[in-house]
Structure 1
Amino acid sequence: MAAMLSLVLLLVAGGVRAAVLPDSRVVNGQDAEPYSWPWQISLQYERDGTFRHTCGGTLIAANWVMTAAHCISKSRTYQVVLGEYDMSAAEGPEQRIPVNSDDIFVHPKWLSFCAACGNDIALMKLQRPAVLSAEVQVGRLPPAGTILPNGYPCMLSGWGRLTTGGSLPDRLQQAELPVVDYEHCTQPDWWGALAIRQTMICAGGAEKAGCNGDSGGPLNCQAEDGTWEVHGIASFVSGLGCNAAKKPTVFTRVSAFEDWIAESTKKLVLSEQAGRGRALEFLRKNAANGLSVANLLAGLSSILCSVNRQYQYSCWLLLLGFLLDLADGAVARQLDACSALGAKLDDFADFTTFGLGTALLLQPQGVLGALLTLAYVLAVFARLCFFSSGIPFTYRGLPCPYASALLASTFLLTGGHVALLRVAAAAMILFMADCGFYPHDKVLESQLWKKLVYAGGVVAVLLAPTAVAAVYCLAWATSYIIFPFALWSCKA
């Protein structure tokens, strides 16, 4: 975390295209061929009655523009300029289209204070569709999940600064930036593992780079059939300089967010078609938050039961919280409705339920018991911090709801055998702190048999005798801990 805090990032980016790949740079680069990147747009904000360029972007549909999340400020009024080339002259093809503030969609997991956490992507719906022409065209997106190999030639363009801290160009600039793959870009003497995620693309190097003003623009790469695809959204460069050695320009990888793009654009269309759309969307977005609140209440009730030595009731509440947490995650992912507030609420609910609520089952007595309980709470806290921060430790170690389910089931089956429970807790601490990777649990969005396992858990916890429910949940949690990929991977 200290390494991340010491990392100074300047937000930037770029986009490009050309029939020929010239040996040039956006930093000290050369003019692009006029209108050679017809999906490149200039995002502009109003200040003192005048619109000023702030970022680039990509026209991905006649009425939709894709840009970087860090380019967006709620306090600003924006317009999109299409068919732009030389900003110092009115050349004729320009189209200036305003954007309503309600029609700007920033990725829900974007953190404005942490560019290295990723999700630097936003969508803007234009007030009216663009008129397509030779100078204004829709950019093509790559197939979902596409990852380009090291050295793959791509193109960057934009109206960003010509040098670090230098002047802005009037004419669109372009450059060829070869891809730097994840393995190279995360080397300690390059960007390092804390700054780069697999949902990003590194491209360029010490000689060729984007710079301030290129942010949000497209990184274009030519497909095998000769067509150009927008693979990246310019995100950030190093605080050491736009073209610092071993600090290539970093882009958001578009192929990692195509589901979100499709769902976000589809949601708005549906809401416009139905008069009740916005109200229904509000309810949908808060469904996950409602489940988090229920999980929080289960945790608080579990704590009260443990304080009053009603440990059996406490265990039932923890198992109920386990089911609520899985449902919460499924709803948030299905609706893409996780807001910053919702994420914090979910983390607090998990810490209360699976941290504090579970730790009290250990019935701390004496120094060693107190230390074990404290270690368990800290393990849950650390796991949730890594989960919510978005740094590359994300999803490493055992998710704390499974550890909690195992301990609650063990307590019910053994009648509260404290020694055995503490041995299990010590093992769960190691699993939660382990650097091993556990798959993102999508029980309710996977194969039918996984959904049936969840349904069986609901029936067991709500209707079955204590022994049956405890054995069922214990087997479920243990299988996830021992065979996370063989059984529970999303690809299984």
Structure 2
Amino acid sequence: MLPNISAVILIILLSSRTTVQQTPTQCGEKKATRNYMIIGGTDTKPGAWPWHTALFTKKGQTMKYVCGGTLIGTEFVLTAAHCIINVETGSELPPERIAVRLGIYDLNDLSTQQECDIRTIYKPGDFTSDGTKNDIAILKLRQSANLNSYVQPACLGTFSSLTGTYGTVVGWGMTEGYKLTSKLKSAVMPVVSSSTCINSNPDVFGQTLDRTMLCAGYTNGTSVCNGDSGGGLFFKVGNAWYLGGIVSFAAQRDDGSNLCSSESYGAFTNVGAYLSWILEKTGLRLSSTQQPTQAPSTVSHSSGGNVDCGPGCRDFNCHVDRRCVSNVAHRTAVHYPHRDCTKYYTCKERSNVICEFDCPAGLHFNRNRNVCDWSWSAGCTS
């Protein structure tokens, strides 16, 4: 029997017609004057993620938010297949029961929104109703998006591997107090290997992870949660933002509340694994200049280490450290500042081993919040 999994939705991608070839100047660029982003699961700003969209279900005059998504081009939206399933009946929702709002930052403020109805829904034929396999669907809009400062498409591309890189996830998920936030939030998180993910929770991830999935996040409270479903995992390459993953599910809390666990990695649909299918259904053609030419921000590996620290740590100057002794009994990792603002230490969960990591390029370690942050916000300059 499949373990309890908290569904968290996927991404909505708009794509252009076959006659259009996107270039880096046509996708993945923020047009708003002020494009601030705050690391660590806090509020973004209007226009900071202009490709992120909100998916609603319609019943009479009532609309209910259910998922996030990502705009690609002007006509199509990519989302999780489980987002279009009626949770009461288990059947697929018809297109007329779904609407997408573009350009939205605050779910309670519709001043910059564009509302679009759905014409057609595409999903893989072998999608599993529990949402753990082939959890992806394409929604064709009835009207094209009007691109402006608040509505822009994200890029699609191929990556040889995203493991060890940092992406940014955005969504209207639950806060630390398990209340759904109305304002869009973002958080930077690393993509971890399948073995690291499975070892962290074999009951949940051991039955579900394969090449069509990515695993990302931390086990210290920074993770995806209910309401984040449909939110994208984005990677910056040059000046453009690419969609690499779609939030699919996370482990549930142990209290039977059907809420996500903040101490669990999140599972994402690997967009690259479905790229050919997406291009076939949408007619989008990627020009050669749209393919990423450099890897996303990656954790810098340090050589050495005098103990076998296990997957995800052994290559990062790991060693036994007295600061981590008390962490042997803890289920979550603990972070400590480094004398170099661009680095930080992490005591592994249930371990007396410490590892040395680099923050992503351009970020400094915020010693008050214990996360990598923009240098102007981190308050660390040494």
TM-score by length of 2: 0.61
1:156-171 aligned at under 5 Å gives the runs 156-163=169-176, 166-171=178-183
Q: 1:121 and 1:189, CA in 2 relative to 1: closer, same or farther beyond 3 A? A: closer
Structure 2, unaligned stretches of length 5 or more? 13-27, 86-91, 254-258, 285-382
1:21/1:155 contact within 8 Å kept: no
Structure 1 residue 229 displacement after superposition: 0.7
Q: Which residue of 2 aligns with 1:83?
A: 103
**Aligned residue for 2:266?**
249
Residue of structure 2 in register with 1:38 after alignment: 50
Instruction: Tell me if 1:24 matches 2:40.
Output: yes
Contact preservation (8 Å) 1:179, 1:203: yes
- Looking at structure 2, the residues matched to 20 and 153 of structure 1 have their Cα atoms a distance apart, in angstroms, of 18
Instruction: Return the alpha-carbon distance in structure 2 between the equivalents of residues 254 and 197 of structure 1.
Output: 13
Is 1:72 the counterpart of 2:81? The answer is no
Counterpart Cα distance in 2 of 1:142 and 1:20: 25
CA distance in 2, matches of 1:131, 1:162: 32
Inter-partner Cα distance in structure 1 for 2:121 and 2:99: 11
| Structure 2 equivalent of residue 62 of structure 1 | 74
Measure how far apart 1:13 and its partner are.
Answer: 4.3
Give 1:194's match in structure 2, choosing from 198, 202, 207.
Answer: 207
Corresponding residue number in structure 2 for 1:259: 276
| Structure 2 residue 249 is the aligned partner of structure 1 residue 214 | no
- In 2 relative to 1, CA 119–197 (structure 1 residues): closer, same or farther, beyond 3 Å? same
Partner residue in 1 for 2:336: none
- Normalising by structure 1, we get a TM-score of 0.48
Counterparts of 1:72 and 1:163, CA distance in 2: 27
Change (3 A) 1:21 1:15: farther
**Which residue matches 2:140?**
125
State the distance in 2 between where 1:174 and 1:15 align: 14
Q: Say if 1:199 and 1:239 are closer, same or farther in 2 by CA, change over 3 A.
A: same
Which protein is bigger by CA-based radius of gyration? 1
Q: 163, 167, 187: which one pairs with 1:154?
A: 167
Aligned to 1:98: 117
Query: Residues of 2 paired with 1:220 and 1:31: CA distance?
Result: 16
Quote the Cα distance in structure 1 between the aligned partners of 2:166 and 2:11: 13
> Residue type of the partner of 1:86?
D
Equivalent-residue separation in structure 2 for 1:15 and 1:71 (angstroms) = 10
Q: Distance in 2 between matches of 1:12 and 1:192?
A: 15
In structure 1, distance between residues paired with 2:106 and 2:173: 13
Report the counterpart of residue 233 of structure 1 in structure 2.
Answer: 246
| Deviation string, structure 1 residues 98-154 (Cα, Å, up to 9, x no partner) | 113xx01112221113x33x21110001001001111101110122x532122x211
2:334 aligned partner: none
The answer to whether 1:12 aligns with 2:29 is no
SS at match of 2:199: coil
Distance in 2 of aligned mates of 1:48 and 1:167: 26
1:134 and 2:149 are equivalent in the alignment: yes
Q: In structure 2, how many angstroms separate the alpha carbons of the residues matched to 1:15 and 1:137?
A: 14
1:327-367 per-position Cα deviation (integer Å, ceiling 9, x unaligned): xxxxxxxxxxxxxxxxxxxxxxxxxxxxxxxxxxxxxxxxx
Q: Whole-Å Cα distance in 2 between the matches of residues 134 and 147 of structure 1?
A: 31
- The answer to which structure has the higher strand fraction is 2
Q: Provide closer, same or farther for how the CA distance between residues 20 and 136 of structure 1 changes in structure 2, counting only shifts above 3 A.
A: closer
Secondary structure of 1:263's counterpart equals helix
Post-superposition CA distance 1:433-466 (Å, at most 9, x none)? xxxxxxxxxxxxxxxxxxxxxxxxxxxxxxxxxx
Partners of 2:116 and 2:141 within 8 A in 1: yes
Q: Separation in 2 of the partners of 1:21 and 1:90?
A: 21
Spell out, residue by residue over 1:79-100, the C-alpha distance to the aligned partner (whole angstroms, 9 max, x if none). 1100101121232x21001113
| 1:204 corresponding residue in structure 2 | 217
Deviation at 1:174, TM superposition (A): 1.2
Supply the distance in 2 between the matched residues of 1:199 and 1:45 (Cα, whole angstroms): 27
C-alpha distance in 2, partners of 1:188/1:177?
16
Take 1:34 and 1:188, find their aligned partners in 2: how far apart are those partners? Answer: 36
Distance 1:172 1:14, change over 3 A: farther
Q: Deviations over 1:253-291 (max 9, x none)?
A: 001100000111239xxxxxxxxxxxxxxxxxxxxxxxx
Aligned to 2:48, what secondary structure does the other structure show? coil
What pairs with 1:308-457 in structure 2 (closer than 5 Å)? none
Q: 1:445 maps to what in 2?
A: none
- What is the Cα deviation at residue 15 of structure 1? 6.8
SS in 2 for 1:46: strand
Q: Any conservation in 1 of the 2:37–2:186 contact (CA below 8 Å)? A: no
Q: Is the 8 A contact 1:109 1:119 kept in 2?
A: yes
Superposed, which structure 2 residues align to 1:167-182 within 5 Å? 167-182=179-194
Residue 43 of structure 1, CA deviation: 0.5
SS in 2 for 1:154: strand
The structure whose RCO (Cα within 8 Å, separation 6+) is larger is 2
Q: Is there any run of 5+ residues in structure 1 with no aligned partner, and where? A: 268-492
Shift of 1:20: 6.4
Which residue identity does 2:214 align to in structure 1? I
Q: 1:148 to 1:261 in 2, by over 3 A?
A: same
